[in-house]
Amino acid sequence: MKVQTKTAHFTNPLYLESGRIIEPYDITYETYGELNSDKSNVIWVTHALTGSHHAAGTYENETKAGWWDALIGSGKALDTDKYFIICTNVIGSCFGSTGPISDDYATQVPYRYKFPVVTIKDMVKAQKILFDSLGIYKLEAIVGGSMGGMQALQAAVDFPSFAKKIIALATTHATRPWAIAFNKIAQEALLEDPAFKKGQYDPADIKITGLVGLAVGRMAGHISFLSPDSMDKKFGREYKRTDGLYELFGKFQVESYLEYNGYNFTKWLDPLSYLYITKAINIFDLSRGYDSLEEALERIKSKLFLISFEADLLFEPKESKEIYDIMQDIHPKQQSSYLNVNSSYGHDAFLVEVDKFENYIRKALDA
């Protein structure tokens, strides 16, 4: 599979929902497969909170493949023998696109807290500008899960004629208090960590030492990505073999797992980017600017395919079902479709249980 990573630079101002602007700005993106002569075989893959443009394949000297490698590639559901896949890194991220740790053009020092709040709508707008610059004006599909699903839905509303199909997994039309609450724990833990230095930390130091506050917050967040059943199956009541049961700080396997993922996470995701992106997730509401959700969804012209997961505690199946039901009422001839996957894994099933929904995506693309 041919994997190419590029960064596009834009000098025109990006006007944000808040009324502020970002100027200039970069968007990093990765492509897989070959673009056909009339540019009609393009699929846009949108990433989640901790994702990046690196969705599939491996770089030189890299052992871990991109985050959706099971879905993207030759003969896979997003078949690179047939489609040209583009995965773009969102504005506000720390993986190449302009974000809070990027240098402000005017001062040549990192934005940090001077970076404006960006929304899912802003992220989609910036990425649409990228596609326009590439001469791509029509997509076969937009596919994304969690925050990626939010972007897919937002694009369907804001640019109704852009994509033939929208495939949104494990997502919602508006972030609910349950998800916001988990993000609040991570935010507070991060802000109260002295090493965060009120946003004035040295990114090079964080990559070496990590950040305790963000690690603790990530542990809380990680719980919301799983489910009680998946934790039972994954860990049971197994104890760490090198720890004694009656040692005060002896650990169960689930505790070691959360520690490992929490502290490792802080060494590769910038804490300011985490704050800005979780803010975008928290304030996401597809109906903002419209009188109702129905009015927003009426704008959609794409065929809409929704996938939820039975044990998803973060974005429950009923949230996708609500979108589907409304679409059935207002667009009965548009052939919207909904699949609730029988899974006990939890929210992250959209990343790890690809075998349970890949055929649905194949059929959606062939529809």
* Mean local confidence (pLDDT), 123-151: 98
pLDDT over 80 (residue 232): yes
Assess contact for 365 and 141: CB atoms under 8 A: yes
pLDDT over 80 (residue 298): yes
Alpha-carbon gap, residue 310 to 352, rounded angstroms: 14
pLDDT over 80 (residue 334): no
46-61 residue pLDDT tens: 999 999 999 999 988 8
Nearest CA to 338 out of 319, 352, 312 is that of 319
Nearest CA to 216 out of 185, 250, 249 is that of 185
What interhelical angle do 147-158 and 271-282 show, nearest 10? 50
φ/ψ of 288, rounded to 5, equals -60, 130
Domains defined along the chain, listed by start:
3-175+284-366 (3.40.50.1820), 179-279 (1.10.1740.110)
pLDDT over 90 (residue 2): no
Alpha-carbon gap, residue 160 to 128, rounded angstroms: 12
What is the band of 1 on the pLDDT scale with cuts at 50, 70, 90?
A: confident
**To which residue do tokens 């994954």 refer?**
234
Between CA 44 and CA 324, with CA 350 as vertex, the angle to 5 degrees is: 75
* Mean local confidence (pLDDT), 157-171: 97
Can you give the pLDDT at residue 335?
A: 78
The end-to-end CA distance of the chain, in Å, is 25
pLDDT over 90 (residue 331): no
Task: Give the E-state strand segments of 184-322 in sequence order.
Answer: 303-309
Assess contact for 61 and 34: CB atoms under 8 A: no
Q: How far is CA 97 from the centre of its chain?
A: 14
* Mean local confidence (pLDDT), 66-77: 97
Q: How far is CA 3 from the centre of its chain?
A: 20
What is the band of 237 on the pLDDT scale with cuts at 50, 70, 90?
A: very high
- Which of the 8 DSSP states describes residue 330? H
**To which residue do tokens 């699929």 refer?**
43
Q: What percent of the chain has pLDDT over 70?
A: 100
Assess contact for 302 and 271: CB atoms under 8 A: no
Can you give the pLDDT at residue 3?
A: 87
**To which residue do tokens 């494990």 refer?**
170
Nearest CA to 265 out of 314, 308, 211, 304 is that of 211
* Mean local confidence (pLDDT), 147-153: 98
Can you give the pLDDT at residue 63?
A: 83
**Radius of gyration over alpha carbons of the chain, in Å?**
20
Assess contact for 212 and 262: CB atoms under 8 A: no
238-297 residue pLDDT tens: 999 899 899 999 999 999 999 999 999 998 999 999 999 999 999 999 999 999 999 999
Nearest CA to 89 out of 127, 59, 60 is that of 127
Positions annotated as catalytic residues are: 146, 312, 347
Burial class of 127 by CB neighbour count within 10 A (0 to 12, 13 to 18, 19+): buried
Per-residue buried b or exposed e for 19-37, using 16+ beta carbons within 10 Å of the residue's own CB: eeebeebbbbbbbbbebee
pLDDT over 80 (residue 159): yes
Q: Which range has the worst mean pLDDT, 38-42, 62-66, 221-225?
A: 62-66
**To which residue do tokens 């673009």 refer?**
35
Whole-number mean pLDDT of the chain? 96
